[in-house]
Amino acid sequence: MGKQKKTQKAKKQRTAQLARLLKPTDSRIKEELRKKRKKPIDPLQIKVNQAPQQSSALFFQYNTQLGPPYHIVLDTNFINFSIKNKLDIIQGMMDCLYAKCIPYISDCVRAELEKLGNKYKLALRIISDPRFERLPCLHKGTYADECIVNRVQQHKCYIVATNDKDLKNRIRKIPGVPIMYVAAHKYAIERMPEAYGVKA
């Protein structure tokens, strides 16, 4: 009986101590020391990390939008390498892909060539050919690499022609986009599916 009385007394003492404690929202506590209750998190407001939407043109790494006539976006670097190697751009592309090719020049690439000055007058004259299609740019600035990467991510119908290592590395991370480049005085292509008749 003695033990039970002791435990009952201990319980009463604990409840009395708890009753003496102030509630965290009590008005007598200073504003700085007052604990604010956390609002319950609404499950609808939790942001979910969404994976980027994949293009419907891709069947795993196989791009169904690629096919003749091929649409090729040219980089400033590629045009300059073609001139140094004395290559006809359109003929060289057709020899590489064995099909009709439509080269595209974005406003950024044209602006970059214009900025480079008199040394690149020949390059400007070449891209002024009516066989070269023009791609209008709606963004600010004239950074061609960023423009090409964004365009290729949005539309999977393009092949990127460049000799720039950094740009190549960025495009390799985008699935289903082949890269054309100048190697051994002719055009070569990388990541082109063999189903299109061109060996990668």
Q: Tell me, yes or no, whether 62 lies in a domain.
A: no
175 inside domain:
yes
Reply yes or no on whether the pLDDT at 140 is more than 70: yes
Q: Is residue 52 part of a domain?
A: no
Verify cis geometry, omega within 30 degrees of 0, for the bond prior to 69: yes
Task: State how many domains the chain has.
Answer: 1
Residue 115 lies in a domain: yes
What is the rounded CA–CA span in Å between residue 86 and residue 109?
A: 20
**Domain annotation covers residue 145:** yes
The pTM of the full predicted model, rounded to 2 decimals, is: 0.67
How does residue 43 score in pLDDT terms, banded at 50, 70 and 90?
A: low
pLDDT: is 102 or 193 the higher one?
102
Within-domain flag for 39: no
pLDDT per position as a tens digit, 57-89: 666 667 778 888 999 999 999 999 999 999 999
Of 8-17, 39-48, 128-137, which gets the smallest average pLDDT? 39-48
Per-residue pLDDT, 200: 47
Please provide residue 52's backbone torsions phi and psi, each rounded to the nearest 5 degrees: -60, 140
Q: Which of these ranges, 82-91, 93-102, 111-120, 178-187, has the smallest mean pLDDT? A: 111-120
34 has a pLDDT exceeding 70: no
Whether the per-residue pLDDT at 113 is higher than 50: the answer is yes
Does the structure show a pLDDT above 80 at 54? no
Assign residue 132 the CATH number of its domain.
3.40.50.1010
Taking CA atoms, 97 is separated from 70, 84, 109, 151, 162, in Å, by 8, 21, 23, 22, 16
Q: Is residue 18 part of a domain?
A: no
pLDDT tens-place string over residues 143-167: 888 999 999 988 888 999 999 999 9
**Domain that includes residue 77, residue range:** 67-190
**Predicted local confidence at residue 195, as pLDDT:** 47
92 falls within a domain: yes
